[in-house]
Amino acid sequence: MSIISRFAPSPTGHLHLGHAYSAWMVFRRANIFRLRLEDIDATRCRPEYAASIEEDLRWLGLDWEGEIRVQSAHFPEYASSLSQLQQRGLLYTCFCSRADISRAITAPHGAEALYPGTCRHLPETERAKKIASGAPYALRLNTHTASAQAGRLKFFEEGSGWITAEPERLGDVVLARKDTPTSYHLCVVHDDALQNITHIIRGEDLREATHIHVLLQNLLGLPTPVYAHHRLLTGPDGKRLAKRDRAATLREMRAAGTTAETILQRFQSA
């Protein structure tokens, strides 16, 4: 079987070593390696970061096939997926601010905070009034109802085998944000299908998200690829490398004289 996979960075900064490791993990497995820029967040993504990611991947020799999929150029496509879900009555308007949500959340510190469902229970008259008043809103998935409609779903995780999807672990996720007419979860399932991705190879920080992606794939009639979540590259302190670790950006390493071979060797021995 030919493995078609993708690296899908968000151009919110220069490529750091951790991200490059993820790209390499995809590249080494894939027969066809695709690139996608997940740049729907206009407040954080910048064209210069997109250009710099492309330059760094080429420098490392991680060449992709075909056109780069640039999400910000395809908002109408995501809107049509969204409306399929809306027509099935699976979305609701959510007017909560971040502060409202954190006030309502009673989860213990450290636990992943789920949306407490405040607006799911809003009386329809109040909802209509808020919309008419022009209050900004997000669209959330009614995950419980959606999951009940979809029935029991499974996905194959390499190294673990078949896993039963538990979408409710992520609660009522946002599928269209107040400031952006779509969201990561919606775009990712849409584009993976569009790019004929057979295997999703990505960092383990996105493992949980798979549970909701599998549900969305089912609701939208899209195939579920095979999943493989790799461990994240850590720094000498044992902590995960992040964009804020400026020293770990590829362009800075390159400027300091590090070669692409040295970096690839480090990945091989990681």
> Interface with ligand GLU by CB under 6 A: which residues?
8-10, 38, 188, 202, 206
Kindly give, in sequence order, each residue whose CB lies less than 8 Å from that of residue 6, ignoring residues fewer than 6 positions away. Answer: 26, 33, 34, 35, 36, 192, 195, 197, 200
Query: Whose Cβ is closer to ligand GLU: residue 174's or residue 188's?
Result: 188
Give the strand pairing for 199-203 and 138-141: unpaired
97 three-class SS: coil
Query: Whose Cβ is closer to ligand GLU: residue 96's or residue 250's?
Result: 250
Axis crossing angle, helix 75-87 with helix 184-194, rounded to the nearest 10: 110
Q: In whole angstroms, how close is the CB of 104 to ligand GLU at the nearest point?
A: 27
**Can you say whether the dihedral through the CA atoms of 70, 259, 262, 235 is positive or negative?**
negative
Rounded Cα distance between 162 and 226, Å, is: 10
Query: Whose Cβ is closer to ligand GLU: residue 207's or residue 266's?
Result: 207
- Which residues are registered as beta bridge partners of 156? 162
Q: In whole angstroms, how close is the CB of 112 to ligand GLU at the nearest point?
A: 16
Q: In whole angstroms, how close is the CB of 73 to ligand GLU at the nearest point?
A: 16
Rounded Cα distance between 256 and 52, Å, is: 17
Q: In whole angstroms, how close is the CB of 134 to ligand GLU at the nearest point?
A: 31
Q: In whole angstroms, how close is the CB of 143 to ligand GLU at the nearest point?
A: 19
Query: Whose Cβ is closer to ligand GLU: residue 208's or residue 261's?
Result: 208
Query: Whose Cβ is closer to ligand GLU: residue 69's or residue 140's?
Result: 69
Query: Whose Cβ is closer to ligand GLU: residue 93's or residue 224's?
Result: 224
Rounded Cα distance between 115 and 101, Å, is: 7
Helices (H), the chain: 17-29, 47-60, 75-87, 98-104, 124-132, 143-150, 184-194, 209-219, 250-255, 260-269
Q: In whole angstroms, how close is the CB of 71 to ligand GLU at the nearest point?
A: 9
